[in-house]
Structures are given as structure tokens and as C-alpha cells.
Amino acid sequence: MEARLNPMGHQVPMKALKHIIAAGKVLEESTLPRATQELVKIRASQINGCSGCLDMHLKEAAAAGETLIRLNLVAAWREATVYTDAERAALELAEQGTRIADAAGGVSDEAWADAAKYYDEEQLSALVIGIAIINTFNRLNVITQQPAGHYVVGQY
């Protein structure tokens, strides 16, 4: 597959992407667990069909020590017994936040309350921002048909 466009090869998208990447880096400083951040990115990328982000975040999660079984079961997290209740709440919030157009009310009060049981306001804010950022990258990559498979851990 060949990309339709190389956003990094043009001045305006390059400038915009620098800011989005920087915003994502800030989340690494948050107290939201790294594993949760990566699981959420993987799940949103699965839903959106973003192979580039899946390539990146599966490799980053594995390099950070995530187990193969947990990575392989993200799409079936509801039935899998390998996730904590907090991770399940984050994955539900990520799914509903990614599928906003599929639900008339957006993210349900129940999903929000469940996440709020496990994460403080700073962590919830990081979770919401992380969901928004990964959805931005997913859309950019899917629209421009960015190929996957060549990501190297730490590349960005």
C-alpha cells in the first residue's frame, strides 16, 4: 500500500502535527498508567481500522512490558479475564468516546461514572485527551492511507 499523502512532507501539516505529538508527550508525564494509555490507543485504533497506530502502539506496549496475551485480547476485553476493572472502565470510555457518532448521547453517564471510580480528575483528563489524540491520528492515517509495519519503538 502506498500513502495518498505524506503529511510530514508539507509545512502546514508538519507544524500542526508537531503540536499534536507534543500534546501526546505531555500525557506520558501524567499519573495515568502507561499500560492503560497504550491499551486505550490500541482499542481506538482497532475500532478505527488504523494499521499505522496499531503497529506503533502494539510495539510500544510490548517494549514497555505488556504481555502478548493482553495485547492479543484487547478487541475482546469484555470477555477476557486479563484486565483490571480500572482498565475495563478506561476501555469502555475509549470505545464510547471513539464511537460518538454511533450513540445518540455520546459517552454514557454510566461509562463516565465507572471510569471516575478508578481515576482521579487529572487521570480522567489525561484519559479523555489521550482518546481524542489517538482518534485524531487514526483519522489522519486512515484518510491518507498510511502504510503500517515499519514502525520502530521510540521512533516518534
Read off the pLDDT of residues 53-88 as tens digits, 9 standing for 90 and up: 999 999 999 999 999 999 999 999 999 999 999 999
Question: At residue 30, what is the residue type?
Answer: S
Q: What is residue 45's predicted lDDT score, i.e. its pLDDT?
A: 98
Read off the pLDDT of residues 119-132 as tens digits, 9 standing for 90 and up: 999 999 999 999 99
pTM of structure: 0.93
Q: What is residue 85's predicted lDDT score, i.e. its pLDDT?
A: 98
**Domain parsing of the chain, residue ranges:** 35-144
CATH class of 35-144: mainly alpha
